[in-house]
Every structure is written in C-alpha cells, then in structure tokens.
Structure 1
Amino acid sequence: MIRNSLLTPRFVPRHIARVHVSIWSPLAEAFNTLPSPKYQIKSKNVGLFGVPELTTAKGFFDIKQDCVLKTNGLISEALSNWRARKMVEIFDEISDTLCKVADLAEFIRSSHPHEEYSYAAQVACATVSGIVEKLNTNIELYEVLKNAVRQGDVVKTTDVDNHVGELFLFDFEQCGIHLPEETRNKVVQLNDSILTLGQQFVSGTATPRVIKKDLLPPNVGNFFMTDSDKVVISSLYTDSNSPLAREMAYKIFLHPDPNQEQILSHLLQSRDELGKLCGFNSYSERALKGSTIDTPDSVKEFLDKLNSEIWDMAQNDFDCMEKLKQTECMGVGPLASWDVPYFTQSAKKNWFRVSSKEYSPYFSLGACMDGLNMLFQSLYGIQLVNSDVEPGECWYTDVYKLAVVHETEGLLGYIYCDLYERTGKSNQDCHFTIRGGRQLRDGSYQLPIVVLMLNLPAPRWSSPSLLTPNMVDNLFHEMGHAMHSMLGRTQYQHVTGTRCSTDFAEVPSILMEYFASDIRVLKRFARHFQTKQPMTDDMLHRLCASKHLFISSETQLQIFYAAIDQVYHGKHPLSGSTTDVLATTQRNYYGLPYVPNTAWQLRFSHLVVYGAKYYSYLVSRAVAYLIWKTYFEKDPFSRENGERYRRECLGFGGGKHPKKLVEDFLKVDPSASVFAKALYHEIEHHQGQVDLVIKNK
C-alpha cells in the first residue's frame, strides 16, 4: 500500500521553461552538498519510500500479510465465473501486488544499514518467493490464462493485451506447468538446484587465493598482502608496474579450483536438463526466446561476423601494446592477457594525458546533475526537481530524492539517489525498480519509483564530490535506466521500463554514454568547481578519444565472453571440462593465447547472472549506436527526435516485441548481420577519433 501523499511532491511547477543551465543552479548546489533534512519538530515518520507500515522493521510483516490477502483475492477473481475484466489485467495486478513487496524488500534486504530491517525484508522476500512458487504450480490458474489468451477472453483484447498475456504464459511454462506431473516436479527440483548452485558459484568467484610466500620468486611477494609466511591474492593486480607480479597474480588467482569446476559443471548440466525438459534443444534456446536476437544460431552468426570483421583491428591493438611492453619491460616475454589492462591504462595516461587530477575538478556531482537536467529538458521537456525527504522515508541520511516533472504532463515519478560510498554498501553501480508504472482501474497512473545507486566520493569541507570520467559515464549510464522507467507509460507494470528483453534493456543506458562522450554536451556542463571555467577544447578531444582506446581488442574480449557463455549453455555434454572448452573457444575468438593451468571462467560470475545472455551487451550497443547515428549525432539536443525516441522506443518498455520495436523505430532488419555491421562501423568511427588525437599530440 502506497500513501497518497507520496504521489504529490511538495513543490511542482506547473510549467517548466526550457532554459540553458546557469552557474550554479539550485539543483547543482543541492548535489554539491550533502542532503540536509528540513524536518519540522513534530514531523511524522512516513515510513520507507512513504509506505506508512514501514516506520519500523516490523511493518514488513503487515505489508507481507496484505500482499497475501490481496493476491488470494485476485486469484479467486481469475478463477471465478463472474469475472468481468480482462484476464491479463488481473494477472498484471497479481504481478504488481507481489513486485511492490518483493522489489522493495529485496532492495532493503541488500541496502539498509540496520540489521533488523535487512532481516525483516529478507523474510518478506522469502514469503513472496513462496507465493510465486505456488502460483507457478497452480495448474487451474494456468489453464484459465491459456484459454483467455489462446481461445479469446470474455472482454475484447488488444495487441498489447495479447503480447503481455503471452509473456505471462511463457513465465508459467518456464516452470514446466504444462508438463506431466512427474516432469513438472523435476523442473521444480532443477530450478531449486540451479538457484543454490548459482549462489555457491558466485560466492566462490571472489574467494582469495592463499599460498606460501616461499613458493613465489624473490621480492614478488612484497607486491601482495602478506600474513607472516603466507601471501593473500584477492585480485589480478592489473595496475602493478611489475610484469612478474601481474603474471604471478594472474596464474595464482585464476588457478583451477576443483570445487568451483564441479559446481559450474553441475550448474550447466542442470540448466541443460531444464531446457530440454521444457521442450527446448538447449538452455540457450530457452533463454533467448522473446529476445531481439532469439536463437542460438543467430547469436553465433552475430558473434562470428563481428569477430571476423574486427580481428585484424584487434590484432593491431595487441601489436601496439606489445611495443609498449617491450619498451618498458624489454626481455620479459611477449604480450599476455595479464598485460592488457595495465598497458591500456598506461597508454591512456601517456598518449592522452587523461588523469583524474586534471579532469575531476570539472565534474562535480552538481555540474553533472545540471548536465543531465539540461539534456532531459532539451530532449523531453522534463526537469529533475530536488524534493524534500520526509522523516523515515530513506534508509540513509545522504540520499537525495528527485521528482521527475514534465512541462505539461506533470509528475512522472521519483528517483531516489543513493550516490555516496560508505562502509558495508555494495560497490556495484546499479538501478533498482521499487515500484513499476501501470494504468490503474480508476484511470489514474501508478507512478514509478526507482533507486539509483553509485559509489562516489562524498563531499569534503573544501570541495563537492568530484567524479572521475569513468564515474561520469556510470552516472549517465544508470540514469539511462532510470529514465527508461520514468518515461514509459505502459498499461501493464509487467512490461514497464526496464522489464523487457535483456538484449534491449541496456540500450537506453548505453545510449546515454554517447551523450556523456559528446563534446557538444560536455561543453554545456563540464565546468571547474572553483573557477567555473569550462573545459578547453583540447581537454575535451583528449577525453572523448581516450574512452575508445583499443576499442577493437576490448570488443573482441566481450565477443569471447559472449561466445563461451553460449558454448557452455549450448549443446551438451561438453567436450571436456569447462576449462578445456574455454581453451578451445579462446583460440577461435580471442587474439591472445590461453594461459595453461588457468581457469578464469571459474571467477566469471556473469555466467550465473546472464546465463546464455552475455551477448546482450553487444547487441544493445549495436542498437544504441544505430539510434545515436540516426537521431542524435547531428543534434544531441533535438526535441523532435527526443520526443520520437520516447514515444516510439522508451514508451513501450517490454510491451512490444524488441525485434518489432527495433524494426519500426530504426527502419532496419533486426538481424545478426545488421547488428554486426553496425558495431564494426561504430569501432571504425571511434578508432578515427583516437588516431586523430594521437596524430595531433
């Protein structure tokens, strides 16, 4: 249950003038200082996110119970003979009821600093999971949905209704509900096993490696954390200027772990069995259904075509790094995988002279938020309004609350910004949906609520939070996800905002990185926090080019990751151990050789998170490039194209098949070859920027 007052900000201008950014705006000033609560003496605790039950941790019991009661009532409606509305509307309300508890509780479970809240939220998550598990095995409920979707509903349905109904059906069938009882029970067991194995594998990916110090070459042990006679290696030490230390860290940290190998093998076998029980030829085939590229053969075609196109360009990158290594470390061997991150950063520093010390003063958090606000006003006619936070509304004292307000439509939703690093906070930059948007029965709209979580340095007495160029990219990226949630006006929350196919979900966020790397955009907000002077043209050109240094070899690495993900989730049984398969795949998809007796896949947690969908980043990047090239390259502030992008792309969320959406919006065939060619042209374009700056340095 959401308190009505949450839906109305304390101050919302009726009309927002389209103006350029001033120095400094109230928004910039707000984000250049820590939030300062303005509570009245008798201010009432409104509860987390304005949910009145959550003034204390015990309130999770109340919202959990309300969720159970409401869900049971909706199930009764769906199964009744007196139903008078569309089945898909009932199912979406069930989904919304569960998600409003599960999404909020999942966020609080992982983010709240107080243990009692985290524990209560975890219990609520478990309760909702139990409800979902029962729903997924409710054959009667599945049958009434299938009849309504396939045979026709009691109320006339639209194309959107039918699409969302099919999505609900597929969610059911993912759990094997359409299968014989014995097989269905096996599917349930496999899903439980996969969840447990995935958690075990992810936990193992971060486990440090401990070895005796005397097993290392002399003096190398001094580069690592030591505990008397033992050395603790917890990363790849890619920033070490010692080639031997980088090599030792790589070989030790990535040394095969028999337990991790067993867990991964069991996980992949279980997923393969699950896919086949559900009627697919492989787990990959099951995972790709409904995606922009929706078959394993098409994904392989995309990866193969792209890799073939850029192979020589990637090799040129490696040749450049090889020369750098021989210049710096003559006689220590050829370029190897452990050298690539080090020499990429070294070249960026030496060739482009891009350092945090030089650039961060121009990227105060306030300036960056001003830049985003300016951009959104230009493209969509919306403004980010810093709003007062009520007592108890947030989980930490330094959280900002933004109202997203359109100049004619009014309030579109809220973005809570948890931006500063702190002890115990996850170091992942991410976007959480707390409540999805949807059309309500009374004709009003349920406003979306999201959280933007980053790990920026907090303001100091002498300066605001100053961002590195990479932090700026991450801020724009995550804000792309947030605006996807804000700008859609989907009828159903099941398909709101980022609730779309994985290989389209990253498109809006990657597109925002193009804006963050465009000199015309940066000129409008990148100003020194003390002098207020804009960044020079020379600095801008160096910065934008540096972001794409060695882009071909970096893309090839992503192709390799996507390829191994597809092979692992493709035809089974695998031809050898996962490490044997890795070595074979690396020869075909990456320009540097496999390092014997290493197994980096056992540290690759994305195999659990993505599961046959790691390719999605590359496809999303291709689509984002095509959108940028078609609509925003000539004018990154075009209101006409911004409105069209919102209307014909963001507005659908997952309510339109991504293939059809891409085809209609870009007027292209959404095929593997088109996406591969788009990325090739993107790399060519960026390489041209790099070459020009290097030539003129």
Structure 2
Amino acid sequence: MLCAPRLCGAGTAASQLLRAWRGCLLAACRARGVSTSWFPVGAAFSVKPQGRRLDLFGERLGLFGVPELSAPEGFRVAQEKALRKTELLVERACRTPPGPLTVLIFDELSDSLCRVADLADFVKIAHPDAAFREAADEACRSIGTVVEKLNTNVELYQSLQKLLADKKLEESLDPETRRVAELFMFDFEISGIHLDKEKRERAVDLNVKILDLSSMFLMGTNVPNKIGKQLLPEHIRRHFITYGEHVVIDGLHAEVPDDQVREAAYKIFLYPNADQLNCLEELLRNRDLLAKLVGYSTFSHRALQGTIAGTPETVMQFLEKLSDKLSERTLNDFEMMRGMKMKLNPQNAELMPWDPPYYSGVLRAERYNIEPSLYCPFFSLSACMEGLNVLFNQLLGISLYAEQTAKGEVWCDDVRKLAVVHEAEGLLGYIYCDFFQRAGKPHQDCHFTIRGGRLTENGDYQLPVVVLMLNLPQSAGSSPTLLTPGMMENLFHEMGHAMHSMLGRTRYQHVTGTRCPTDFAEVPSILMEYFASDYRVVNQFARHYQTGQPLPKNMVSRLCESKKVCAAADMQLQVFYATLDQIYHGQHPLRRSTTDILKETQEKFYGLPYVPNTAWQLRFSHLVGYGAKYYSYLMSRAVASMVWKECFLQDPFNRAMGERYRREMLAHGGGKEPMLMIQGMLQKCPSIDDFVGALVSDLDLDFETFFMDSE
C-alpha cells in the first residue's frame, strides 16, 4: 500500500516506489498513444495559481479544445454545425428499419445537441467574459427550441415507437439498449406527442409556459426585500445594507449572534411578494395540468418515473417513517437549543425558526472546539488532491494527473485540467477544476457534464469531459490554499460526481455518468463524504503545511462528533422541505394557498411554529430544478450510508469492494434501474425501513471513535 505523497519525502522507499509506478504507467500510456504532458496532481495545486500553457506553435485552441470556441461568435458556428448534423440524423433515423441501430442514431442525435448545449450551459454562468456568456446563453435557447421541436416530431417518434411496439424486436434488445429506448420514448410522451394534434399543441404551450414561469420564479427567489429604515432600530439597521431611506434585506443572516437581527431578517426577507406568490401557484397549476394531459394523475407521478422511489406514495411512506423515528430526537435537539438560548438570552427563550442554525453552531463550538482555523493548516489544497489521488488509486486503480492546457482552452488562468488514468485501461477522461473565487462567479459548488461518454459506431469510446466548480479562497502570498473542513468535504463530494462521470462507461451518452435518476445521482458524491470523515483516509494526506505534523486523531474525532450535534433537527427540517415539495406536486388543485399548505406542513413535520406574514416557499428555489424530487437528498444519503457501512466501513481502501462499486453502481450511469444497481452493490434488496434505519443510525454511531478505540 503506497503512502500519501506528503509522507513520501525524497529518498524514501515509498517515494521511489511511487515514482517507479508512475514511470511504468507513463510508459504504458505512451504505448497506447496517450498524451504524457502530465505532472503530479498535488504540484498543480501547491502554489498560487499561474496557468501552465502549451504553445502549440502559437495556435490558439477554443474552450475545452473545441476549435470554433476561440471567440464568442464560435458558439453560432458550433450550433449551426450541430443543427446540420441533427437534420441528417433525423432523416437517417426515420428511414432506418427499426432495430438496435435506431437507438444508436437517437443517441448520436442527442449527443450532437448536448455537446453544444451542455458546454454552453456551463459557459453562460461561469465565463468571466460577458460576450462569451451572452453567446452561450443564446446557444442554449436555440438548442432548447430545437429539442422542443424534436420532441414533437411525429415521424421521429414513430420510428422509435415501431421498435418498441414490435415485441420480438423489443425482446431482442439488450437491457441497456431497451432502457435507453424507453427513456427516449418517455421524453417524447411527456411532451404529449402521443396525443391528438389539439392536445399536443396544448402540451407544447404548457411546456413553454412552465419554462417561463420557472425562470421567473427562480429569479424571484433571490430578490431582496426592503423596509423603511425608520421602522428598524439603529442597532438592528446597521447589520444590513441601506439605500436612501430603505434598509435592504438580502438573506436570512442566520449566523448573526443578535436574536433581534435574525428575527428582523427572517420576517422581512420572507415577507410574501404577491407577484412571486402568483408565479409559484401558476407554475404548480400548469405542472399539474401538463401531467394530467400526458396521462399521469399528478406531476409527482410523472417526475418519479424510473427513480429509486418510483411513486409519490413510496416517497411519502419514506418521509413519514423517517419523521416518526426522528420526532423524539428532534424534540431533544430543540430542547438543547432552547437551553442555550435561555442561557444567552433569558429575556426571550422561546425557540423560533430563525434560531436553530445559530444555536446549533454555538452548541457545536462550545462542546468540541472545532474552530475552522485550527484545521485549515492541515488541509492544503495540494494535500487534499493528493489524498484523493491515493484513495482512488487504492480503491479503483485510478490516478489523477495535471495536464498542461493550450492557449484558449480554459476560461481563466487558474483553471486546472486533470487527466483521469486507469492502471490497465489508460486514459478515462478529463476533469477541469475551476476551484477559485473570482468576481461574478456563482457562489455554488457543482459538477457540470461538458461531454458525455459513449461508444461510437466505429468502436472508439468518446471520453467524458466534466467541470468541477468550487469557490475556494485564493492563496495569500507564497502560502498554499488552505481549506476548512467543510471545504474539504465539499471537494470530496464534487469529486464523487466526477468519478461517476469518468467511470460510467455506458454505450449511450443519454445515460452517461450522472445522467441518471435524481435520487441516485447524489449517492456517489455523498458516499465520498463518508470517506472524508474517516480518520484512516484523512490520515493519508492531512499534514500541517509548515511543520508536516499529521492532523491529531482527537481533532478528527471532535469534528465527526460535532456533526451529530442537533443533526436530528437538521434532518427533520429536510423532511419538512421534502414533504412540502410532495404536497405541492401531488393531489392538489390548489384549493388552498401555498402558504396555508406551508403552515400546516411545518407544524406537522418540523415542530417550530409558523411565523405569520411569512412565506418561506417563495424562496424555495429547489422547487424548479427538483420539483417533486427534493426528497432525493435524503434517499441518496440513505443509500450512501448503507453502502459505506456494508462495504467500506471495515476497510475504506478495500480494492475488491472498490471494484464491486465500479462494476455494480458507477459503470452503468443511468443505463440500469437504480434499485438493481443498489441491490447488486449491497447484495440484497433494501426496504424503506432499511433506508430509514440507515439515516437514523448515522445520528448515533461514531464510526471514527469506533476505529480509534479498536486500534
């Protein structure tokens, strides 16, 4: 077993072994014709970002190596090229006799559009140049219009229908091909293509309206509220931005110690906006109409087809059972917070909805002394990247190498490109790491698919390309970038998504990597959080960047223990959000306002009182992207917890389990039913009670202490 690079100083046997292993790998890659312009991943992140570029004789490549994208105007060129290919593929699909080739053509059609749309979807929010962002946004809209037209192309639909309607032909398809064909058919049917002309046109109109309302609602979730400054005492007012005669409230300010400031922020920021309320209720109403028009009893039934849960009834069973198991623990958590509030503010000890984030943080800090600044020196970015490298190598036979980029290939000089290399299979794909803060960059950690993997008609494999976007601070002077424990965990989380994309070696890009049901897509990333919390893993890389001292075991133990403080109340809050989402998208012709539903659901599934004249649902942005699927975070965590305990708890570096994990879960992307993948990994079919039990047991067991005590 190789040690972490931080432990392998020059001249050590381990360092020599690591260099020799890398030399053999590079020699093998040269034999396969794979690029060797690589350097160690840790070195790429060890100093203040200064882009390393290949000259390529002065040639300037486009973004991600796409030649057309060396300038913003190139998006139109790439878009027109994709549309010309689309026309040819549509014609070919319609004239090809039904069979497996039909599905391959459909996938190539999807790929030609996704390779522009997915790339543009990232560029429009992340590129620092406004001209690139605008061109990308226009490309997204154009490709989206084409997709809408294709989803209502009757001749194209009939070519797929002939394949699935012929029982002998359908049975001749292998399981992955049949599933992909059914997924394409589902895309057609949710657009209403199986309906008569009048209803089909109605479905198209509803889809367009839903897109517009979704965009409007999403924008409204972040719009600040304002109040006359004379209405707030000066000691509260000074915590907020003031414009003229108004105080502007742009968030909940949940971490501010002053109870009155948090209360003011909560009541003002969540004060209902009539336009936003109408927008949400119109969005929910149109989703309900569309679902019924295309043959589903509710929007939730439509959204959950093909997921782990399968039906809204199963989701509600899961949420209600989890809520029952959490109820006593949640009450205990609220009592602890109430006690802390009474200690700090005896004049007003009633626990209110604006209190839990602050008082749970106070309790964690008081009990465990987990000040982030104590941990940061042990989590330099370069050490964390080498830690991931060691983990992936031991678990999956994979190594990460930094690769020099060409001029124009990346959108910012501090972006790093990683080659993902398997010890036997060679190059698997590329990860672009956009890790550092910059002006105008969205404040969110996320994973973007730029190009999906797929098997082409000539037998070659189209390598996947993804971007990981974080918001890490730039290093100061000659010091390395230092991560808080939360940042380190987020890095592991997002790298879990990246490995899903790299190892999802599907035949079809339509189901590559993270293109799978929402309640399964978060499993690999959440599983990585368990690795990030295990001392045996952390001990491989966490070293003080100045002294080389390893992170003490008791500091890791305190960090893990602190996560359990008020964790039941945090989970109960997620149950409340997920339940509200289900009710909004269930059997509800909105006979009551969404605020009345919120009040009732909050009292039943959370426990803290509803605050009059507030409407938290109008800030619930996940209702757009996760409509009827917000429960996915909880269900994915339940699955990840079971996989960790059953397969990796005894040995997080178990190669046999790593191979099973790749074979049974990662390799299939969305090309296999998620429950079958879970069953293959766990070697049993888990029940709802198993999922609930896994989540609840996470609140009790201290895996870190267990392993420290067993040494």
TM-score by length of 1: 0.94
Change (3 A) 1:147 1:581: same
* Partner secondary structure for residue 684 of structure 1: coil
Which letter does structure 2 place at the counterpart of 1:677?
G
Aligned to 1:600: 616
Cα distance in 2, alignment partners of residues 115 and 351 from structure 1: 47
Question: Does structure 2 retain, via aligned residues, the 8 Å contact 1:419–1:456?
Answer: yes
Aligned to 2:133: 118
Name which of 28, 40, 43 aligns with 1:29.
Answer: 43
Q: Which moved more, 1:213-222 or 1:106-115?
A: 213-222
Cα distance in 2, alignment partners of residues 212 and 289 from structure 1: 48
* Partner secondary structure for residue 337 of structure 1: coil
Aligned to 2:156: 141
**Per-residue displacement from partner, 1:640-692 (whole Å, max 9, x unpaired)?**
10011001110011000112222232133343232122212222225x97999
Cα distance in 2, alignment partners of residues 684 and 634 from structure 1: 18
Which letter does structure 2 place at the counterpart of 1:613?
K
Cα distance in 1, alignment partners of residues 660 and 57 from structure 2: 47
Name which of 453, 457, 473 aligns with 1:437.
Answer: 453
Which letter does structure 2 place at the counterpart of 1:496?
T
Aligned to 2:90: 75
Change (3 A) 1:30 1:74: same
Deviation at residue 537 of structure 1 after TM alignment? 1.4
Cα distance in 1, alignment partners of residues 630 and 384 from structure 2: 30
Name which of 360, 381, 385 aligns with 1:365.
Answer: 381
**Per-residue displacement from partner, 1:282-309 (whole Å, max 9, x unpaired)?**
1001100110001111100000000001
Which letter does structure 1 place at the counterpart of 2:106?
F
Which letter does structure 2 place at the counterpart of 1:398?
D
* Partner secondary structure for residue 406 of structure 2: coil
Q: How does 1:183-582 map to 2 (within 5 A)?
A: 183-217=199-233, 219-582=235-598
**Per-residue displacement from partner, 1:59-90 (whole Å, max 9, x unpaired)?**
22221121111111111111115678621111
Cα distance in 1, alignment partners of residues 102 and 43 from structure 2: 49
Cα distance in 2, alignment partners of residues 389 and 121 from structure 1: 22
1:109 aligned onto 2:124 = yes
* Partner secondary structure for residue 13 of structure 1: helix
Aligned to 1:587: 603
Cα distance in 2, alignment partners of residues 348 and 610 from structure 1: 31
Which letter does structure 2 place at the counterpart of 1:140?
E
Q: Which moved more, 1:233-242 or 1:322-331?
A: 233-242
1:59 aligned onto 2:74 = yes
Question: Does structure 2 retain, via aligned residues, the 8 Å contact 1:293–1:671?
Answer: no
Identity %: 50
1:614 aligned onto 2:630 = yes
Cα distance in 1, alignment partners of residues 328 and 500 from structure 2: 37
* Partner secondary structure for residue 431 of structure 1: strand
Aligned to 1:13: 26
Deviation at residue 332 of structure 1 after TM alignment? 1.3
Question: Does structure 1 retain, via aligned residues, the 8 Å contact 2:52–2:405?
Answer: yes
Structure 1 unaligned spans of 5+: 1-9, 17-24
Cα distance in 1, alignment partners of residues 297 and 93 from structure 2: 33
1:47 aligned onto 2:51 = no
Which letter does structure 2 place at the counterpart of 1:45?
R
Change (3 A) 1:487 1:35: farther
Cα distance in 2, alignment partners of residues 318 and 468 from structure 1: 27
Question: Does structure 1 retain, via aligned residues, the 8 Å contact 2:99–2:169?
Answer: no
Change (3 A) 1:91 1:140: same
Deviation at residue 205 of structure 1 after TM alignment? 0.9
1:173 aligned onto 2:186 = no
Aligned to 2:11: none
Change (3 A) 1:291 1:84: closer
Change (3 A) 1:223 1:141: same
Question: Does structure 2 retain, via aligned residues, the 8 Å contact 1:85–1:155?
Answer: no
Cα distance in 1, alignment partners of residues 244 and 83 from structure 2: 55
Cα distance in 2, alignment partners of residues 562 and 154 from structure 1: 37
Cα distance in 2, alignment partners of residues 278 and 81 from structure 1: 28
Which letter does structure 1 place at the counterpart of 2:206?
L
Cα distance in 2, alignment partners of residues 620 and 673 from structure 1: 14
Which letter does structure 2 place at the counterpart of 1:387?
E
Change (3 A) 1:39 1:15: closer
Cα distance in 1, alignment partners of residues 332 and 27 from structure 2: 56
Q: Which moved more, 1:107-116 or 1:320-329?
A: 107-116
Q: How does 1:600-679 map to 2 (within 5 A)?
A: 600-679=616-695
* Partner secondary structure for residue 166 of structure 1: helix
Which letter does structure 2 place at the counterpart of 1:29?
A
Aligned to 1:19: none
Which letter does structure 1 place at the counterpart of 2:266?
Y
Question: Does structure 2 retain, via aligned residues, the 8 Å contact 1:86–1:154?
Answer: no
* Partner secondary structure for residue 637 of structure 2: helix
* Partner secondary structure for residue 612 of structure 1: coil
* Partner secondary structure for residue 668 of structure 1: coil
* Partner secondary structure for residue 469 of structure 2: strand
* Partner secondary structure for residue 554 of structure 1: helix
Question: Does structure 2 retain, via aligned residues, the 8 Å contact 1:429–1:474?
Answer: yes
Change (3 A) 1:320 1:499: same
Which letter does structure 2 place at the counterpart of 1:553?
A
Deviation at residue 182 of structure 1 after TM alignment? 1.0
Deviation at residue 165 of structure 1 after TM alignment? 0.5
Change (3 A) 1:474 1:72: same
Deviation at residue 131 of structure 1 after TM alignment? 1.5
Cα distance in 2, alignment partners of residues 668 and 684 from structure 1: 24
**Per-residue displacement from partner, 1:97-120 (whole Å, max 9, x unpaired)?**
111111111111221111222222
* Partner secondary structure for residue 399 of structure 2: strand
* Partner secondary structure for residue 601 of structure 1: helix
Deviation at residue 216 of structure 1 after TM alignment? 2.0
**Per-residue displacement from partner, 1:142-201 (whole Å, max 9, x unpaired)?**
111011123154994211111111111001101010011111111111111111111111
Cα distance in 1, alignment partners of residues 369 and 510 from structure 2: 47
Cα distance in 2, alignment partners of residues 500 and 476 from structure 1: 20
Q: Which moved more, 1:344-353 or 1:158-167?
A: 344-353
Deviation at residue 26 of structure 1 after TM alignment? 3.7
Question: Does structure 1 retain, via aligned residues, the 8 Å contact 2:579–2:601?
Answer: yes
Which letter does structure 2 place at the counterpart of 1:331?
Q
Moved over 3 A (4+): 38-42, 81-85, 152-156, 688-693
Cα distance in 1, alignment partners of residues 569 and 96 from structure 2: 61
* Partner secondary structure for residue 572 of structure 2: helix
Structure 2 unaligned spans of 5+: 1-22, 30-38
Cα distance in 1, alignment partners of residues 56 and 624 from structure 2: 49
Cα distance in 2, alignment partners of residues 456 and 611 from structure 1: 30
Which letter does structure 1 place at the counterpart of 2:474?
A
Which letter does structure 1 place at the counterpart of 2:26?
P
Aligned to 2:3: none
Question: Does structure 1 retain, via aligned residues, the 8 Å contact 2:43–2:382?
Answer: yes
* Partner secondary structure for residue 452 of structure 1: strand
Change (3 A) 1:94 1:40: closer
